[in-house]
């Protein structure tokens, strides 16, 4: 199998992640409930994961690292903490439904800024124009469809200048790009554990610049008498028993990323993308590509005269796993003019090899030219 759908979930995981999950399942209980060894082992694992995530993302205190089920869960907490019905919320033209649906559900007044793909200048110009009128900015760091790296540092600078709170969706950047939470000065940053942080599905992280509003109420293992969630982090936003086995795996994933170095992972993925571009440049394919300063290791393409689903199905039958369609991001497709067709997305991980990419390209060429 050649797995090139890592922007959805990375696969395989490092062996250390599998082992950590198994160890946790056999030896850990509910963290923050009892004080017996299985509970304290779980608590120690959670704390270690918070601490190492805080170091990786430059968060001043481990308490500000909150565990969630995924990035969507984290974004929902962040958005419901900062937005309200009628609030003027500015988003980029490349947001995922995990941003746009919670905003729509709240009845926020949404403005989209920066629709031009891979055009940082246009993105900045649009944000510059709209930020002074916004009450909240929600912006992805990297487009999940096209790998477009948005100028998040500059956008964060504008937000600080106009005192507009910022929520960063780091779903496609955490573990690959530098993300300095303290420097950004964002209210929140949300990320999944199961993508480039290489943890198991069912894990996510919310970095908190402020306390936020709980999305769920329940047991926190602390301050049990009051009938409201504690005022302090992380307890305030973590109701119910944690996904301890998942967090144990996430900790191993974060360690793998830190050891390898996010910049090296990015370089590897980008070199695979460039190899793929070279292999697939032909009259039939429409490649959505730009230089490395504005595109991560995610490549979308279309094949002229063929549906994206047919191509992805053909690849799947030959054991090449990619994703086709809208990738839960109609806003991004509306911006890029691909809403009618969707795209076929190829995405990489530290475990993808050049040989695999060459094989996938060969198979794709066969599907395009021999089976059309």
Partner 1 sequence: MTQYLIMCRSLTKAQSSARLLESAGITASVVKAPQELSGAGCGYALSLYRRFEEAVELLKKNQLLNGKLYRRSGGEGYTEVKG
> Residue 347, SS3?
strand
Cα–Cα distance, 186 to 81 (Å, whole number) = 13
Applying CB under 8 A, does 61 fall inside the site for partner 1? yes
Options 55, 105, 153, 223; binder of partner 1; rule CB under 8 A: 223
What is the nearest approach in angstroms of partner 1 to the Cβ of residue 304? 54
Question: In this complex, which beta carbon is closest to partner 1, that of residue 213 or of residue 339?
Answer: 213
Asked whether the bond before 24 is cis by omega within 30 degrees of 0, the reply is no
**Direct distance between the N- and C-terminal alpha carbons of the chain, in angstroms, rounded to an integer:** 24
Nearest in space to 54 (alpha carbons), one of 46, 29, 267, 200: 46
What is the nearest approach in angstroms of partner 1 to the Cβ of residue 34? 7
Contacting partner 1 within 79-118 (CB under 8 A): none
Residue 34 CA to its chain's centroid (Å): 33
Nearest in space to 242 (alpha carbons), one of 66, 104, 12: 66
Question: In this complex, which beta carbon is closest to partner 1, that of residue 51 or of residue 356?
Answer: 51
What is the nearest approach in angstroms of partner 1 to the Cβ of residue 47? 4
Question: In this complex, which beta carbon is closest to partner 1, that of residue 11 or of residue 40?
Answer: 40
132-165 in b/e burial notation, b at 16+ Cβ within 10 A?
A: eebbbbbbbbbbbbbbbbbbbeebbbbbeeeebb
Binding mask 312-351 for partner 1 (x = CB under 8 A): ----------------------------------------
Which residue reads 């170091």 in tokens?
A: 55
Please say whether the beta carbons of 356 and 320 come within 8 A: no
Cα–Cα distance, 2 to 357 (Å, whole number) = 8
- Please count the other Cβ atoms lying within 10 Å of the Cβ belonging to residue 337: 10
Which residue reads 């990035």 in tokens?
A: 71
Question: In this complex, which beta carbon is closest to partner 1, that of residue 219 or of residue 314?
Answer: 219
How far are the Cα atoms of 36, 72, 99, 235, 278 from residue 33, in angstroms, in the given order?
Answer: 9, 26, 33, 12, 55
- Binding residues with partner 1: total (CB under 8 A): 25
Options 16, 27, 30, 51; binder of partner 1; rule CB under 8 A: 51
Binding mask 25-44 for partner 1 (x = CB under 8 A): ------xx-xx----x--xx
Which among 60-68, 157-165, 282-290, 353-361 is the span making contact with partner 1, rule CB under 8 A? 60-68
Cα–Cα distance, 183 to 216 (Å, whole number) = 29
Applying CB under 8 A, does 222 fall inside the site for partner 1? yes
What is the nearest approach in angstroms of partner 1 to the Cβ of residue 79? 24
Question: In this complex, which beta carbon is closest to partner 1, that of residue 18 or of residue 63?
Answer: 63
Question: In this complex, which beta carbon is closest to partner 1, that of residue 49 or of residue 113?
Answer: 49
Which among 225-233, 246-254, 323-331, 334-342 is the span making contact with partner 1, rule CB under 8 A? 225-233
Applying CB under 8 A, does 63 fall inside the site for partner 1? yes
Options 21, 62, 158, 207; binder of partner 1; rule CB under 8 A: 62
Measured over the CA atoms of residue 10, residue 11, residue 16 and residue 18, the dihedral's sign is positive
> Do strands 88-92 and 2-3 pair parallel, antiparallel, or not at all (unpaired)?
unpaired
Cα–Cα distance, 109 to 88 (Å, whole number) = 5
What is the nearest approach in angstroms of partner 1 to the Cβ of residue 235? 5
Q: What's the order of all strands across the beta sheet hosting 343-347?
A: 285-288, 298-303, 343-347, 323-325
Question: In this complex, which beta carbon is closest to partner 1, that of residue 45 or of residue 173?
Answer: 45
Question: In this complex, which beta carbon is closest to partner 1, that of residue 53 or of residue 298?
Answer: 53
Binding mask 230-269 for partner 1 (x = CB under 8 A): x-xxxx----------------------------------
Question: In this complex, which beta carbon is closest to partner 1, that of residue 40 or of residue 215?
Answer: 40
Applying CB under 8 A, does 16 fall inside the site for partner 1? no
Question: Which residues form the interface with partner 1 (CB under 8 A)?
Answer: 31-32, 34-35, 40, 43-44, 46-47, 50-51, 61-63, 221-226, 230, 232-235
């Amino acid at each position: 199998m050649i797995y090139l759908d890592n922007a959805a979930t990375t696969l395989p995981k490092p062996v250390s992640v599998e082992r950590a999950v198994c160890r946790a399942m056999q030896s850990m209980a509910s963290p923050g409930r009892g004080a017996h060894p299985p509970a304290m082992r779980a608590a120690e694992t959670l704390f270690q994961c918070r601490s190492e995530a805080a170091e990786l993302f430059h968060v001043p205190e481990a308490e500000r690292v909150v565990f969630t089920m995924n990035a969507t869960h984290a974004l929902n907490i962040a958005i419901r903490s900062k937005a309200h019905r009628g609030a003027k919320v500015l988003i980029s033209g490349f947001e995922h439904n995990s941003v746009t649906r919670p905003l729509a559900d709240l009845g926020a007044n949404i403005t989209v800024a920066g629709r031009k793909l891979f055009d940082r200048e246009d993105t900045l110009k649009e944000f510059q124009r709209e930020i002074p009128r916004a009450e909240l900015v929600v912006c992805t760091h990297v487009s999940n469809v096209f790998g477009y790296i948005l100028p998040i540092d500059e956008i964060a600078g504008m937000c600080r200048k106009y005192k507009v709170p910022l929520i960063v969706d780091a779903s496609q950047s955490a573990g690959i790009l530098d993300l300095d939470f303290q420097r950004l000065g964002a209210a929140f940053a949300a990320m999944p554990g199961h993508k480039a942080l290489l943890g198991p599905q069912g894990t996510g992280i919310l970095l908190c610049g402020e306390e936020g509003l709980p999305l769920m109420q329940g047991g926190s293992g602390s301050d049990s008498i009051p009938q409201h969630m504690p005022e302090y982090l992380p307890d305030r936003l973590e109701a119910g028993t944690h996904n301890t086995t998942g967090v144990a795996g996430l900790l191993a994933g974060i360690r793998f990323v830190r050891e390898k170095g996010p910049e090296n992972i990015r370089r590897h993925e980008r070199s695979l993308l460039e190899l793929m571009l070279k292999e697939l440049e032909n009259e039939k394919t429409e490649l959505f590509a730009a230089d490395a300063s504005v595109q991560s290791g995610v490549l979308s393409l279309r094949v002229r005269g063929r549906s994206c689903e047919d191509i992805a199905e053909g690849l799947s039958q030959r054991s090449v796993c990619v994703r086709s369609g809208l990738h839960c991001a109609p806003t991004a497709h509306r911006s890029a003019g691909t809403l009618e067709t969707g795209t076929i997305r190829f995405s990489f991980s530290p475990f993808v090899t050049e040989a695999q990419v060459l094989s996938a390209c060969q198979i794709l060429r066969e599907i395009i030219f021999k089976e059309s």
